[in-house]
């Protein structure tokens, strides 16, 4: 296993659409996923897309800590407090299930040091295949939906600043302490790929 180098904004691999994963169960893809997991964990991340590690394939990994999935709600009887375990998602398709969007702060390992307020659909359905090629079909809301949309944007050559509607809300992370508009004083702002996420 290895910690991979992360591509930064401006690198061509982040600007081009990624190619479909031809064989989700191949040894090469399994090795790539192991290295991506190690890289994500080293960065204290919540998600990582293959193009971010210079591999132009439609593959993302992510997890959602229990305290981030529904931070303002008490856990329900169905176990919403469990978060979302590590997910390997290949060749994903995202379908918005509502027109409603929510503005939220995002960062990105490929855009180091910066954060921005980004509108995202509040409820989505995503489909794809797992590492072994099994189908995956989930509905996501809140932070879970935001993470999936952010990571899958990388597969289409889109970084979060391109989704922003107000570039005055793009700033250096350290400057958040001076009171960014719409950010709670105690809000934990970090990388979408790093456990802000």
Residues serving a catalytic function are 151
Reduced DSSP (H G I as helix, E B as strand, rest coil) percent helix, strand, coil of the chain, to 5: 30, 30, 40
Q: Are 105 and 189 in contact (CB under 8 A)?
A: yes
β-bridge pairing 135-141 and 47-49: unpaired
From CA 7, how far away is CA 3, in angstroms rounded? 13
Q: Name the H helices within 43-100.
A: 66-69
From CA 197, how far away is CA 168, in angstroms rounded? 22
Query: Would you say how long the chain is, in residues?
Result: 197
Q: Are 19 and 58 in contact (CB under 8 A)?
A: yes
Beginning with the edge strand found earlier in the chain, give each strand of the sheet holding 59-64 in spatial order: 47-49, 59-64, 84-96, 123-129, 135-141
Which residues lie across from 158 on neighbouring strands? none
């Amino acid at each position: 296993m290895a910690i991979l180098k992360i591509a930064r904004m401006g690198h061509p691999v982040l600007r081009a659409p990624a190619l479909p994963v031809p064989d989700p169960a191949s040894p090469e893809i399994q090795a790539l996923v192991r290295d991506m997991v190690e890289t994500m964990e080293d960065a204290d991340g919540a998600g990582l897309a293959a193009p971010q590690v210079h591999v132009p394939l439609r593959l993302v990994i992510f997890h959602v800590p229990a305290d981030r999935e529904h931070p303002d709600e008490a856990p329900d009887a169905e176990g919403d407090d469990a978060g979302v375990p590590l997910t390997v998602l290949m060749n994903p398709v995202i379908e918005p299930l509502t027109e409603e969007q929510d503005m939220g702060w995002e960062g990105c390992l490929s855009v180091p040091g910066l954060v921005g307020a980004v509108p995202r659909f509040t409820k989505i359905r995503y489909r794809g295949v797992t590492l072994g090629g099994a189908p995956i079909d989930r509905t996501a809301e809140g932070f879970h939906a935001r993470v999936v949309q952010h990571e899958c944007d990388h597969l289409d050559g889109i970084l979060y600043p391109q989704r922003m509607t107000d570039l005055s809300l793009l700033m250096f992370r350290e400057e958040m302490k001076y009171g960014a508009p719409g950010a709670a004083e105690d809000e934990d702002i970090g990388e979408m790929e790093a456990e802000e996420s």
